[in-house]
Amino acid sequence: MQRKIWINGDYINWEDAQVHILSHSHQRGSLIFGFIPIFENDGVISLFRLNDHVDRLFTSCETAGIPLEYSPQDIQLAIKDTVRKNPGSKFVKISVYIASIEIDVVPQDPFSTVAIAAYEPMEDIASKNTQPFHSSKELSVWLEKEKHQRRHDIIPPQVKIAGNYTSSMMAKWQARKNGYDEIILTDEEGYITEAPTSNVFIVSNDNVLLTAPEEDVLYGITRKSVIEIAKDENIEVKLERVLTSKLDNIREIFLTSSSHIICPVIRLDNKQIGNGKIGNLTSRLSKRFLKITNGFDKNFNFWLDNI
């Protein structure tokens, strides 16, 4: 079908959504973005934790100094309308960018554009590219030793801005060439932070769920959801810094993101995690998450914002 993209209140065709090659956000990496899953249950279309996603978008813009003239309510209404106009979509991507052609790192015309696209990633994007799409439901992961992530003195971890993903892209690209699906990054002190587009959870030998403190990583909506689900399941959760040396003595690792929800890690640096299969706690949380997104969990039905 012909996808329509919302740009500053107007709908244009997918192929007409273009920005100049010399635009500030293209040249300087100043684009802020958000990515929201869409679920369909018995014909009812729902957006997952819409309020949280939009709040994070506005927080990122404010922290980075990117102007955003719309209100959160405006953006939510535009997202819902865009989903209605693009049936069969699985995700929504919101982009806030400075489209003007600029000379300096500080834009002379600091006016942002907002674009909202609703689409089915495999059909609308992956199938049209020349190379096969890399996908795995059980991950072999490389623990990145050289390129570090999340320095508060450069870009705050909570800012979902394009420039924040450059070093992790380089590291993951190399890991892919070496046969790994994904990477896990650390800070400069050797503490686990996250994957390039995912948060990291570790299950200790005493069945405690560990993940990095919020101030050290991107504010992940799926991460937040897993923590809340775990507490509802009476699973002990600790938000603490974990050294890489502790990874030799754990039961499970899994990654969380809007695209993969919960994705198990079965190998790390080519060493088997646990018994090399999806762990019990990972499986338990995945099943509960699926129940929620299918609309069958009264405790968390409020996470689904129906269209």
Return the amino acid letter for 305: D
Residue 231: CB atoms within 10 A of its CB come to 12
Residue 284: CB atoms within 10 A of its CB come to 14
Q: What is the predicted pLDDT for the residue at 151?
A: 65
Q: What is the predicted pLDDT for the residue at 116?
A: 98
Please state, in angstroms and as integers, the Cα–Cα distance from residue 43 to each residue in 2, 3, 88, 297, 307, following that order.
21, 20, 11, 17, 10
What are the tokens at 104? Answer: 């300096």
Which element (helix H / strand E) includes 93? strand 91-98
C-alpha torsion angle, residues 75, 81, 87, 90 (rounded to 10) = 20
Domain with CATH 3.20.10.10 in the chain: 139-293
Q: Which class in CATH covers the domain with range 4-127?
A: alpha beta
Q: What is the predicted pLDDT for the residue at 150?
A: 60
Helices (H) and strands (E) in the chain, counts: 7, 15
Put the strands of the sheet holding 112-119 in their side by side order.
10-13, 4-7, 112-119, 91-98, 32-41, 44-48, 304-306
Return the amino acid letter for 38: I
What are the tokens at 121? Answer: 């990633």
Return the amino acid letter for 26: H
Question: CA neighbours within 13 Å on the CB side: how many for 281?
Answer: 28
CB 185 within 8 A of CB 144: yes
Q: Which class in CATH covers the domain with range 139-293?
A: alpha beta
Residue by residue, pLDDT tens for the chain (307 residues) are 799 999 999 999 999 999 999 999 999 999 999 999 999 999 999 999 999 999 999 999 999 999 999 999 999 999 999 999 999 999 999 999 999 999 999 999 999 999 999 999 999 999 999 999 898 888 999 999 877 766 666 777 888 999 888 888 999 999 999 999 999 999 888 899 999 999 999 999 999 999 999 988 989 999 999 999 999 999 999 999 999 988 888 999 999 999 999 999 999 999 999 888 899 999 999 999 999 999 999 999 999 999 9
Closest CA to 102 of 27, 36, 166, 24: 24
DSSP code of 87? T
Which element (helix H / strand E) includes 79? helix 72-85
Q: What is the predicted pLDDT for the residue at 129?
A: 93
Domain with CATH 3.30.470.10 in the chain: 4-127
